[in-house]
């Protein structure tokens, strides 16, 4: 589950959909340098994001779960995650942001499609959009993503 701007647990459609899949979930948030340095970025916003994530973390303690934070570009981290885990599906909201986040989301869709096309026995990929959520699904072997990316 890739958290973007919607940092809450209630009334969160992609999180609900992820829970319905009955698969192990990895909760992630990215402090992306390319977004943090945009002209429309502000330290107050990033402080709010950090405080929101801390609050979410405290709520997850009782479930022995956590959100993993990364200070890196999304695709770089997903390349690494694909080398460690069998990534089946990536759930997230379709972000309404600036051109950088729009381009990032397009690049991530392309990245996941490339893995699907060249991914050595990737078995399924589902693209579906509604007005407020984006679901990109992948089923792959544990090391298959990394093999393509090397």
Task: Convert the pLDDT of each residue in 13-37 to its tens digit.
Answer: 999 999 998 888 899 999 999 999 9
Q: Pick the residue with more confidence: 13 or 96?
A: 13
Spatial separation of the C-alpha atoms in residues 112 and 75, rounded to whole Å:
9
Angle between helices 99-118 and 74-84 (to 10 degrees): 30
Cβ contacts of residue 81 below 8 Å, gap of 6+? Answer: 26, 28, 87
Instruction: Put the strands of the sheet holding 2-3 in their side by side order.
Output: 2-3, 27-30, 67-70
Q: Of 147 and 14, which is predicted with more confidence?
A: 14
pLDDT for res 87: 76
Q: How far apart are CA 143 and CA 133, in angstroms?
A: 28
> 118 pLDDT band (50/70/90 cuts)?
low
Q: Give the containing element (helix H, strand E) for 136.
A: strand 134-137
Percent of the chain topping pLDDT 70? 76
Q: How many CB atoms lie within 10 A of CB 75?
A: 17
Ordered alpha helix ranges (H), 9-143? 13-20, 33-36, 43-60, 74-84, 99-118
% of the chain with per-residue pLDDT over 90 = 37
User: What average pLDDT score do residues 74-102 get?
Assistant: 83
Distances (CA, A) of 24 to 19, 21, 36, 91, 99: 9, 9, 30, 12, 32
Lowest-pLDDT choice from 17-31, 59-73, 121-135: 121-135
């Amino acid at each position: 589950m890739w958290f973007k701007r919607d940092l809450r647990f209630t009334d969160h459609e992609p999180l609900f959909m992820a829970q319905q899949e009955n698969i192990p979930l990895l909760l992630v948030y990215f402090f992306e340098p390319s977004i943090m340095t945009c002209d429309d970025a502000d330290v107050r916003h990033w402080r709010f994001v950090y405080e929101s994530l801390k609050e979410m973390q405290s709520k997850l303690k009782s479930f022995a779960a956590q959100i993993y934070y990364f200070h890196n570009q999304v695709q770089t981290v997903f390349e690494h995650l694909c080398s460690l885990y069998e990534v089946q599906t990536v759930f997230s909201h379709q972000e309404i942001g600036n051109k950088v986040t729009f381009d990032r989301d397009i690049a991530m869709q392309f990245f996941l499609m490339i893995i699907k096309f060249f991914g050595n026995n990737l078995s399924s990929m589902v693209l579906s959009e509604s007005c407020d959520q984006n679901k990109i699904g992948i089923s792959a072997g544990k090391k298959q993503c990394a093999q393509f990316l090397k």
